[in-house]
Chain A
Amino acid sequence: MISVQYVVALAVLLFMIGAIGVLVRKNPLIMFMSAEMMWNAAALAFIAFARNYHDMSGQVMAFLIIGTAAAEVGIGLAIIVAVYHRRHRLDIDEVSKLKG
């Protein structure tokens, strides 16, 4: 039996990779993927803890995360495609009609 610390460590690692991806990458698609990776890291941590505590609510939460992530991906890709259609290039630095 793998103890919970290792799984949580993996989740933390995934979370870090995702967070760094969002902060470093310029392509909205990749940034979005990285954000989804952070979500999945959280789902992994939830499942690890749920197994550790023999408690169902963590697994339910992981289920909710997967469902919500699908909805978010549907909306997100639609928006990214709409923006892409208007400019035929994807670079977050070029999305700059609105100055940050």
Chain B
Amino acid sequence: MLIYLIVSLLVVLQMSFASDIMGPKAPGGLKKVTYESGIVPEAPVGYFSVRFYRVAMLFMIFDVVIMALYPWATSLHVLKAHGFYNGLAFFAIVVVAFLYVWRKGGFQWH
């Protein structure tokens, strides 16, 4: 047990610091680019894109809302008709929110 603990700690430590100690160092150049190994940004990134933020936000909110349907679906056999209609009422509220965002142009990229 103790040995496992020590070994795992050592592994974590060496992963954290080994590259600092042993790896080659080449400061400057591509190192300063935001996405070092990814696509080279076309314009200097001074601020984050608000469009990206909006889509991410909407995705997250509807995602979490839909998450509430999973326990509902798995326990429908217990809830019977009453629970079914309550779930539908919940879904109607989500649909209203969806319609609102849609009409307001929230799903358009531009």
Contacts and interface: CB of A to CB of B under 8 A. Distances in A.
To the question of whether A and B form a pair in one complex, the answer is yes
A89 to B, nearest CB: 11
A20 interface: no
Interface in B46-62: 47, 50, 53, 57, 60-61
Q: Main SS of the interface on chain B?
A: helix
Nearest to B56: A77
B71 A73 contact: no
Contact of A81 (B53, B63, B71): B53
A74 B47 contact: no
Contacts of B68: 63, 67
Interface of B: 47, 50, 53, 57, 60-61, 63-65, 67-68, 71
3 closest residue pairs by CB, A with B? A70-B64, A74-B61, A74-B57
